[in-house]
Amino acid sequence: MTHAIEISDLKKRYESGFEALKGINLTVEKGDFFALLGPNGAGKSTTIGILCSLVNKTGGKVSIFGVDIDEDFATAKKYLGVVPQEFNFNVFETVFNIVVTQAGFYGISRDVAAERAEKYLKQLELWDKKDTPSRMLSGGMKRRLMIARALIHEPQVLILDEPTAGVDIELRRSMWEFIKKLNEQGTTIILTTHYLEEAEQLCRNIAIINRGEIVENTSVKSLLKTLNMETFIFDLDSKVESPFSIAGYPITFINDGHSFEVEIAKGQTINDVFVFLSEKGLNVISMRNKSNRLEELFVKLIKDKE
């Protein structure tokens, strides 16, 4: 079966001697919503750079939809659309020209390009800015412009390198709705992000990279199953006057005694906490996870390897 992306023994050593990738193996299935996570300098951007020809690899193989980049990179590139981390368009060009020019680089005629530009700029709510020089756009608009530009040749794989960095919450949500729709229509999505809740909510499969090595490569569901401990925050309707403890459940009081954190280990149930609170006559007005579950795993996996 042909995979969307197949990477084997991929290595990259920079001229400085820094080994950014130490022979990673990775497979992304067609139609997947895949997250590539890792701390800064782990090798995410190098991997993406190699995929889209911005970085020369030192060793290994990369295939995009079965096309080996060493044999026919031009065809392989047609399958890919890239939204980089940093803004990389000509700041003096207008929005429309940036998108249509990019289409030209893929050999798409100007008529077709103009139609597609209108379609994607409208979908990304940039059509009214089509004649605006790109430097005049807000940060969020610039991000959307890069998405429109990456989609202009209708790629089968869309790579998004930290696309929501510095984007406000409302815009981030609408951007993800758009990306989710693309994925539902069959586009394979590869995402790197520092917002791990995004990866948990959106992605089906995940790879965690650290110091040039893949430390985990599995489905998000399987990964979350390995979580041994979760911390919940309980908000009470009144202040706790005398701090209490529950056997087997470590508790920390916060918010001046109006809330507390409790650690629930694998095999324990939250019911025990509720029963205790009921007996004490304390009312819970809300309850939530302290931190993102994936974040806890991420930190653990990275620490384990250090």
What's the min distance (Å) between Cβ of 10 and other proteins? 14
Residues contacting 129, CB < 8 A, separation 6+ = 95, 121, 137, 141
Q: Using the rule CB under 8 A, is 17 a contact of other proteins?
A: no
Of 17 and 107, the one with the shorter C-beta distance to other proteins is 107
What is the 3-state secondary structure of 40-64? Answer: CCCCHHHHHHHHCCCCCCCEEEEEE
- How many residues of this chain interact with other proteins, rule: CB under 8 A? 34
Which range binds other proteins by CB under 8 A, 35-43, 105-113, 260-268, 287-295? Answer: 105-113
Total number of residues shown for the chain = 306
What's the min distance (Å) between Cβ of 151 and other proteins? 13
**3-state class of 168 per DSSP?**
coil
Q: Using the rule CB under 8 A, is 108 a contact of other proteins?
A: yes
Distance separating alpha carbons of residues 246 and 232, to the nearest angstrom: 14
CB 163 within 8 A of CB 191: yes
What's the min distance (Å) between Cβ of 89 and other proteins? 5
Q: Using the rule CB under 8 A, is 88 a contact of other proteins?
A: yes
Distance separating alpha carbons of residues 157 and 159, to the nearest angstrom: 6
- The correct pick among 92, 169, 271, 303 for binding other proteins (CB under 8 A) is 92
Residues contacting 15, CB < 8 A, separation 6+ = none
Of 110 and 266, the one with the shorter C-beta distance to other proteins is 110
Beta bridge partners of 254: 259
Q: Using the rule CB under 8 A, is 156 a contact of other proteins?
A: no
Rounded-to-10 torsion of CA 34, 37, 43, 47: 10
- The correct pick among 25, 27, 101, 268 for binding other proteins (CB under 8 A) is 101
Of 53 and 231, the one with the shorter C-beta distance to other proteins is 53
Q: Using the rule CB under 8 A, is 53 a contact of other proteins?
A: yes
Q: Can you tell me which residue has the tokens 């207008």? A: 94
- The correct pick among 30, 106, 123, 224 for binding other proteins (CB under 8 A) is 106
Distance separating alpha carbons of residues 126 and 130, to the nearest angstrom: 7
Q: Using the rule CB under 8 A, is 223 a contact of other proteins?
A: no
Of 62 and 199, the one with the shorter C-beta distance to other proteins is 62
Q: Which residues bind other proteins (CB under 8 A)?
A: 14, 46, 49, 52-56, 73-75, 77-78, 80, 82, 84, 86-92, 97, 101-102, 104-110, 149
